[in-house]
């Protein structure tokens, strides 16, 4: 929806820019893994306070997942390109807030905005593929989008390592700011030239709102100055007064400059309610949000938010979810019931009735959940195995081992997309997840020195390749069996199901693995019995502890194999009657 006929070259360029944005947002998801300790210390947290830093991760996930259905629905109503540009701008602004964050609250707020913008890119880009390509031609573009997304996960840690080697963690997010704005400007320019956007929903305009631009510039500049508190200014006798809080307040925002930032921001918001011609037509965007069913979106956000917070803040050594997890899940369950009730009665529900009626459509969500649950085990536990094993890898060495898995994933994604023209979706999806499951079974039998032998690279590559194969068939099945006008919200739900699967998977599998570890640890002899004499720690005892840790990982890999095989079985069952692309068209759905 929202994409009309245009020059094929323009369409391809637009899709490549959108895919590049998806890749960069995916890279940002993984770059925090390396920079998290530095980010914590910058806001006054020590490494021992890791639990307090959990909102840095869960805040991003909350923004990434909770609002996705609403973003997808707005894209269905308003058009893909305007929402794509808006998501990039939100991602860029979130990057700025993160880069200048001065405490934990501001850091979490920035990460939430980054997640909100970055998460919105994926379903909109998938829906854009459906708009630009016929059903029989979507496989390869969908595979490419999946490939560049996973390529972002490969480049993320490397990108972070390079930036941290020459700068600090804040530089990562300043680069994100620049890239996000450049991509947004490029997509807007290309869209205006090619007129690929529906003129009825987003007419190209040559008018520049200078007043709005000036207000926004002043508000952001004042905000950055307040948050960064430049030493050269705040220590100046003549220039430091605007930074001094009023009275006995200690809040940096209750200062002349802080109040100016807030006041100008409010004036800017009021200005943007002026309608067409303003820098941001807030009146039009709010109308689209209302049309998208705000009540349903709120209920779904609460439902997803409860699930995310319950699992993302859990300590797997204690339980599958956090101490308040049962209450959060209860709220999620209640919100889910209310959402179903509301969806049946609303005139224009968030998820249109019948959108997921066909088996391949809702089946794709189920499969995506188990794919996410299995995938997260590889992403988190392969590096752990590299550190515990005879390889004794450091942080970079462990990342390089994981790259053997990650490089194969985008290769499989492109091949899987191409094969959708020749093979049935159930066969591709089932074979891909079966291959990944076999890879996990082999990993579950890795010996202490497995990574020193070539066969481990084969296991990693085949597992990553299997995950890659499945990406395009799942997306193709969903898009082919949902109405065109619902592709945005359907794609959003697909991303949500995968992310929820990853959260539940990492928490559940780690908890099961730790139980195995504790069971083995309880059976270990004491250090004195192993080491003898006065020694309380020796190489022999350390090896026993390491073996217990490796046994824990074996259990996790075995659990991931179960999830992969379930996804394979569901693929055969749910996609058996999914449409298959042929050179001459698409078969009918019975």
Q: Does any domain span residue 281?
A: no
Domain hosting residue 117, numbered range: 1-206
Among 26-35, 174-183, 267-276, 341-350, the least confident range: 26-35
Residue 421 sits in the same domain as residue 303: no
* pLDDT tops 60 at residue 206: no
Q: Taken in order 440, 444, 450, 453, is the CA torsion positive or negative?
A: negative
In the chain, the number of structural domains is: 4
Residue with tokens 């973003």: 71
pLDDT at 196: 42
For the ranges 39-43, 137-141, 252-256, 493-497, which has the lowest average pLDDT?
A: 137-141
Residues 319 and 369 in one domain: no
Any idea what the CATH number is for the domain that residue 114 is in? 1.20.1250.20
Higher-confidence residue: 274 or 225?
225
Q: Looking at the structure, do residues 267 and 398 belong to the same domain, yes or no?
A: no
298 and 315 part of one domain: yes
- pTM for the model stands at 0.79
CA distance 307 to 17: 33
**Is residue 314 located within the same domain as residue 371?**
no
- Of residues 448 and 93, the one with the higher pLDDT is 93
Report which DSSP code applies to 590: -
In terms of Cα–Cα distance, which of 59, 57, 86, 60 is closest to 71?
86
Per-residue pLDDT, averaged over 321-334, amounts to 84
CB 72 within 8 A of CB 116: no
How many CB atoms sit inside 10 A of residue 280's CB?
17
On whether residue 288 sits in a domain, the answer given is no
More confident residue, 7 or 130: 130
User: What are residue 197's DSSP bridge partners?
Assistant: 3
Report the distance separating Cα 467 and Cα 472, nearest Å: 10
Predicted pLDDT at 269: 92
* Lowest mean pLDDT, pick from 299-303, 330-334, 397-401, 572-576: 397-401
pLDDT, tens only, 143-201: 788 778 777 876 777 788 788 888 888 999 999 999 999 999 998 888 877 654 444 44
The pLDDT tens digits for 101-160 are: 988 889 989 999 998 898 888 888 878 887 887 777 777 788 788 778 777 876 777 788
For 364-428, the DSSP string reads HHHHHHHHHHHHHHHHHHHHHHHHHSTT---HHHHHHHHHHHHHHHHHHHHHHHHHTTTS-HHHH
Rounded to whole angstroms, how far apart are CA atoms 418 and 143? 7
pLDDT 10s digits, 222-240: 999 999 888 888 888 778 8
Q: Is 101 helix (H, G, I), strand (E, B) or coil?
A: coil
């Amino acid at each position: 929806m929202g994409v009309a006929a245009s020059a094929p070259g323009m369409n391809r360029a637009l899709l490549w820019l959108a895919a590049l944005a998806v890749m960069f947002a995916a890279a940002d998801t993984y770059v925090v893994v390396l920079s998290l300790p530095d980010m914590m210390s910058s806001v006054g947290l020590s490494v021992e306070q890791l639990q307090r830093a959990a909102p840095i991760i869960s805040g991003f996930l909350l923004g990434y997942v909770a609002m996705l259905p609403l973003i997808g629905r707005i894209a269905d109503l308003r058009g893909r390109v305007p929402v794509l540009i808006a998501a990039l701008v939100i991602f860029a602004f979130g990057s700025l807030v993160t880069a200048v964050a001065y405490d934990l609250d501001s850091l979490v707020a920035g990460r939430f905005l980054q997640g909100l913008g970055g998460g919105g890119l994926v379903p909109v880009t998938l829906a854009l593929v459906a708009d630009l390509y016929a059903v029989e031609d979507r496989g390869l573009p969908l595979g490419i989008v999946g490939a560049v997304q996973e390529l972002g996960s490969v480049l993320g840690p490397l990108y972070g390592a390079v930036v941290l080697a020459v700068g600090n963690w804040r530089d990562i997010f300043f680069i994100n700011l620049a890239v996000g704005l450049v991509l947004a400007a490029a997509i807007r320019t290309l869209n205006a030239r090619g007129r690929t956007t529906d003129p009825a929903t987003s007419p190209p305009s040559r008018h520049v709102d200078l007043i709005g631009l000036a207000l926004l510039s002043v508000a952001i500049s004042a905000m950055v100055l307040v948050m960064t508190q430049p030493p050269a200014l705040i220590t100046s006798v003549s220039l430091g007064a605007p930074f001094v809080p009023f009275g006995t307040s200690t809040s940096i925002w209750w200062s002349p400059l802080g109040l100016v930032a807030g006041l100008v921001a409010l004036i800017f918001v009021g200005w943007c309610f002026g309608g067409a011609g303003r820098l941001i037509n807030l009146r039009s965007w709010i109308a689209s949000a209302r049309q998208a069913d705000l009540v349903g979106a709120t209920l779904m956000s609460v439902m997803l938010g409860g699930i995310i917070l319950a699992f993302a803040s859990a300590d797997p050594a204690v339980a599958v979810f956090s101490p308040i997890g049962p209450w959060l899940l209860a709220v999620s369950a209640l919100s889910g019931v209310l959402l179903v009730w509301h969806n049946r009665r609303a005139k224009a529900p968030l998820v249109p009735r019948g959108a997921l009626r066909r088996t391949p459509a809702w089946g794709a969500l189920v499969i995506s959940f188990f794919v996410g649950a299995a995938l997260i085990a590889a992403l988190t536990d392969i590096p752990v195995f590299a550190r515990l094993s005879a390889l004794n890898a450091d942080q970079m060495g462990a990342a390089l081992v994981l790259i053997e898995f990650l490089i194969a994933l985008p290769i499989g994604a492109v091949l899987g997309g191409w094969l959708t023209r020749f093979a049935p979706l159930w066969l591709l999806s089932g074979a891909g997840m079966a291959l990944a499951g076999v890879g996990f079974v082999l990993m579950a039998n890795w010996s202490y020195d497995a990574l020193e032998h070539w066969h481990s690279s084969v296991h990693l590559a085949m597992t990553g390749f299997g995950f890659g194969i499945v990406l395009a068939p799942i997306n193709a099945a969903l898009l082919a069996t949902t109405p065109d006008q619902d592709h945005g919200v359907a794609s959003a739900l697909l991303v949500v199901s995968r992310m929820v699967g990853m959260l539940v998977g990492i928490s559940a599998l780690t908890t099961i693995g730790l139980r195995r570890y504790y069971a083995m640890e309880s059976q270990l002899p004491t250090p004195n019995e192993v080491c003898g004499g006065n020694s309380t720690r020796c190489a022999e005892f350390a090896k026993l502890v390491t073996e217990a840790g490796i046994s824990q990982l074996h259990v996790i890999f075995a659990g991931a194999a179960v999830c992969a095989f379930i996804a394979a079985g569901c693929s055969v069952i749910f996609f058996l009657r999914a449409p298959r692309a042929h050179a001459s068209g698409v078969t009918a759905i019975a």
